[in-house]
Amino acid sequence: MKTQLNSLTATRAIAAMLVVVHHFGTKVFPFSYAQSFFSNGNLSVSYFFVLSGFVMYGAYNGGKTKYSTFMKKRIGRIVPMYLFALSLAIITSLCRYAFVKNNLLPSNFGKQVLFSSLLLQSFVPDYPLAINGPGWSLSIEMFFYILFPLLLVFQKKNFKAFISFAILIFIITQIIHLFYFYKLKTLSSGMQDVVLFNPLLHLNQFIIGMLGGYFFEKTTIPKEKIKFLPLVLLVAIIIVIAIRPDTLSYQTGLIAPLFMLFIVSMAICDPKIMNIKPLVFLGNVSFSIYILQSPVFVLAGIANKYLHLNPFYFFYSSFLALILASIACYYTIEIPMRNKINALSLKKQTD
């Protein structure tokens, strides 16, 4: 598999922006006219999990990498930017405490900082959304990275057993999640966090992504024969998300197989419309967009106490600030720190 498929990178930009709209912009034009879809923008996280499995399989299936080297590269990919965003979120929490009336730091703030710093928040009930809410998915992503080499060995040694395992874990996950989601409002807050954020209930999505990577590498289907399939699948995904009943949850991967088919079809066809340079660039910056959204909007909200912008101007000015901050962080934190950690890993390998 190519190191980077531009069309898939571009989808990361769209998915990240959908999460931002879900959190801050569903009541703003034009998103207010399709709230049934945009209010489900958090399902982009499910898409990220599937895409992660797909990309990881393509990147590591063909060769041998030491586990320690693999983990250092993964840490270099997400941890520096994650910790910067966490630090900024801590500062914003302190700012709200200092400048916003009737806003107090929670009594467990120290534990929130501890669990979030160690990327453990999604494992601990009552803490998944602590300090920097979007960070919960990075906690799960790190869990995937830790397991990935073992899952890859399993997949290579006995593919049929791996398929059976994938189907079984998908079915068990959906039964458990949907059973408790149906009675979610009656559960304690801690149990709600287990139902929505526990890493074990999200593992099936990453595994489905790995299967997608396998099918993509094995397929011989010419892209001319399926050139409209990505569009058909995209429309299907939009419809399925838009008509989702409130009692049905997609959060732990119920539509992950549909995401996987879309990703594979996009990888095969690599549509030119998704290779637009600005969109691909934003795809590369999408991690910063995703992880910085909460502290940037909170700081913008504090500033708006004095600026008094209406919701429309507040959202779009804050969104622009988020994009600019993300681009700056991409060049000053993401790339330099990733390269530095990767260089250290290579140096230790050659020593």
Average pLDDT on 189-217 reads 96
17 located within any domain: no
- What's the confidence (pLDDT) of residue 63? 76
More confident position, 341 or 165: 165
Separation of alpha carbons 144 and 161, rounded Å: 19
Specify the number of domains making up the chain. Answer: 1
37 located within any domain: no
pLDDT category of residue 297 using cuts at 50, 70 and 90: very high
Q: pTM for this one?
A: 0.94
What residues contact residue 20 under an 8 Å CB cut-off, 6+ apart? 41, 289, 290, 293, 319, 322
- Residue 102's alpha-carbon distances to 24, 96, 98, 112, 141, in angstroms, are 22, 9, 10, 20, 35
Range of the structural domain that residue 226 is part of: 6-11+43-283
336 located within any domain: no
- What's the confidence (pLDDT) of residue 216? 94
91 located within any domain: yes
146 located within any domain: yes
Position 67 pLDDT exceeds 70 = yes
27 located within any domain: no
Helix axes 189-197, 159-182, angle to 10 degrees: 150
Position 349 pLDDT exceeds 90 = no
303 located within any domain: no
36 located within any domain: no
* Max Cα–Cα distance, the chain, nearest Å: 62
CA atoms within 13 A of residue 245's CA, in its CB half-sphere: 5
Separation of alpha carbons 138 and 95, rounded Å: 24
Separation of alpha carbons 177 and 53, rounded Å: 21
| Tens-place pLDDT, residues 237-288 | 999 999 999 889 999 999 999 999 999 999 999 999 999 999 999 999 999 9
